[in-house]
């Protein structure tokens, strides 16, 4: 079962999944917040493209709506909101010193292999495209978590969280040829709510500890470390 024998749609979807994986890696290695948000927007754009491709090839008009929603939320609204937040906080010049960038990247690559390894059992019950797309989306989810672990800024955490959602969304589009409209609307609404909630949280964190560096929250530790 090789890529040459697949149709053009499958090849395009596979390339898209590779690019989505790449954007996850780019986010993982990114120290600057504004660029992180930009890469996140690119990932959203790739999702939009995938969705519209699926809509076109499966002739499923409600996927177009979902594509428009994705575009509006993940390419325009959330990046814009985060960007505004970063600019008002005057953090655009902060470069987060990522310790052991190489180790992080290699860790990410091994997570990718791992997610493929984990999903190997379902190979008999599903098509190639499904397995591979799910493997990539699982690794996007894991990479999102790794992003949250490795970065200190709360904004980066939000981006990581959102990219986890992106991974799940990608799997849904590719593997199930689009979820029912109701579910998608619900998810989109959830994301919107999450974004708003995060905005409120930022406000609170900032007023209480005067920074968005989550390591500062160590101060809230109950037991005195010394």
Partner 1 sequence: MSWLIAILQTALFVALAPLLAGFMKFCKCRLQNRRAPSLLQPYRDLLKLTRKQPVISEDASWLFCATPYIVFTAMILAASVVPFIAVDLPTSAEADVIVLVGFFAFARFFLALAGLDIGTAFGGMGSSREMTISSLAEPAMLMAVFTITMTASTTNLSGAIEHVLNEGVVLRPSFVFALFALLLVAVAETGRIPVDNPTTHLELTMIHEAMILEYSGRHLALIEWASQLKFMLYGVLISNIFFPWGIAENFGLSALSYGLLVISGKLILLCVFLGIAETAVAKMRLFRVQEYLGFAYLLGLLGMLSHIILESTR
Partner 2 sequence: MILFLAYSAVLLSFASGGVAIAHLQFPNVQKKLVFWLLGASGLMAIFAGLGELIYPEIRLDTLNLGLPWLPWHVHFDSLSAFFFLIIGIAVFAVSLYAPHYTHHEQKDAQGFAVLSLFTGLFVAGMMLVLLADDAFMFMIAWELMSVASYFLVAFQHENPANRRAAFLYLLMAEVGALLIILAFGVVASFADGFTFDALRASTIPTTWMSIAFVLALMGFGMKAGLVPIHVWLPEAHPVAPSHISALMSGVMLKVALYGLIRFCFDLLPEVHWQWGVVLLIVGTVSALSGILYAMMQQNLKRLLAYSSVENIGIIVMVLGLSMIFLANHQNELAALALLAALFHAFNHALFKNLLFLGAGMIHHQTHELNIDMLGGLIKRMPKTSMIFLIGCMSISSLPLFNGFVSEWLAFQTALQVDVLDNAVLRSLIPVSAAALALTAALAAACFVKVFGLIFLGVPRSRHAEKAKEIQDKGMLAAPAMLAFLCFFFGIFPSSILHLIDNVTEQLLGSTQPTKDVLSFLSIAPVSPEQASYTAPLILIGALVAAGVSFWLLTRNSETTMRIAPTWDCGFGGLTPRMQYTSSAFTMPLRRIFAPAFLIDEKVEKTMRDDTKLNVGEVRYTLHIQDHSWVRVYQPIERGVNRVAKQVGRIQTGNIRTYLGYSLATLILLLWVVSL
Site for partner 2 in 90-149 (CB under 8 A): 100, 113, 116-117, 120
The SS3 assignment for 95 reads: strand
Query: Which of 197, 187, 196, 137 lies closest to 164 in space, CA to CA?
Result: 137
> Which DSSP string corresponds to 130-172?
HHHHHHHHHHHHHHHHHHHHH--BHHHHHHHHHHHHHHHHHHH
Residue 32's DSSP bridge partners are 95
Count how many Cα atoms sit within 13 Å of the Cα of residue 196 in the half-sphere of its side chain: 5
Nearer to partner 1, 25 or 202 (CB): 25
The SS3 assignment for 32 reads: strand
Please give the Cα distance from 153 to 132 (Å, whole number). Answer: 32
Please give the Cα distance from 27 to 33 (Å, whole number). Answer: 10
- Residue choice 88, 92, 101, 176 for contact with partner 1 (CB under 8 A): 101
Smallest gap from residue 191 Cβ to partner 1 (A): 27
Nearer to partner 2, 80 or 117 (CB): 117
75 neighbors 48 (Cβ within 8 angstroms): yes
Number of residues that bind partner 1 (CB under 8 A): 29
| Phi and psi at residue 126, to the nearest 5° | -140, 170
Regarding 29 and contact with partner 1 (CB under 8 A), the answer is yes
Q: Taking CB within 5 to 8 Å according to partner kind, which of partner 2, partner 1, none is near residue 100?
A: partner 2
Regarding 114 and contact with partner 1 (CB under 8 A), the answer is no
Smallest gap from residue 135 Cβ to partner 1 (A): 6
| DSSP code at position 126 | S
- Residue choice 68, 76, 103, 123 for contact with partner 1 (CB under 8 A): 123
Nearer to partner 1, 63 or 131 (CB): 131
Site for partner 1 in 134-153 (CB under 8 A): 135-136
Residue 213's DSSP bridge partners are 153
Regarding 4 and contact with partner 1 (CB under 8 A), the answer is yes
- Residue choice 93, 99, 102, 221 for contact with partner 1 (CB under 8 A): 102
Nearer to partner 1, 170 or 198 (CB): 170
The SS3 assignment for 216 reads: helix
Number of residues that bind partner 2 (CB under 8 A): 5
Query: Which of 115, 111, 145 lies closest to 131 in space, CA to CA?
Result: 115
Residues near partner 1, by CB under 8 A: 1-4, 8, 11-12, 14-15, 17-19, 21-22, 25, 29, 101-102, 105, 109, 112-113, 116, 123, 128, 131-132, 135-136
Q: Given the rule CB under 8 A, which residues bind partner 2?
A: 100, 113, 116-117, 120
């Amino acid at each position: 079962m090789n890529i040459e024998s697949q149709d053009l749609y499958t090849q395009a979807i596979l390339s898209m999944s590779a690019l989505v994986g790449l954007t996850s890696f780019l986010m993982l290695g990114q120290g600057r917040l504004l660029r992180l948000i930009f890469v996140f927007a690119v990932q959203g754009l790739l999702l939009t493209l995938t969705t519209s491709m699926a809509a076109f090839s499966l002739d499923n008009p409600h996927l177009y709506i979902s594509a428009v929603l994705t575009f509006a939320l993940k390419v325009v609204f959330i990046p814009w909101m985060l960007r505004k937040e970063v600019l008002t906080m005057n953090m655009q010049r902060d470069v987060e010193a990522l310790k052991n960038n190489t180790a992080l990247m290699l860790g990410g690559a091994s997570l990718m292999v791992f997610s493929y390894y984990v999903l190997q059992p379902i190979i008999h019950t599903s098509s190639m495209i499904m397995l591979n797309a799910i493997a990539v989306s699982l690794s996007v989810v894991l990479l999102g978590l790794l992003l949250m672990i490795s970065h200190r800024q709360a904004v980066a955490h939000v981006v990581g969280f959102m990219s986890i959602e992106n991974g799940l969304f990608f799997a849904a589009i590719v593997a199930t040829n689009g979820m029912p409209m109701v579910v998608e609307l619900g998810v989109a609404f959830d994301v919107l709510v999450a974004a708003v909630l995060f905005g409120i949280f930022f406000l609170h964190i900032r007023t209480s500890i005067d920074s968005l560096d989550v390591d500062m929250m160590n101060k809230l530790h109950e037991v005195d470390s010394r």
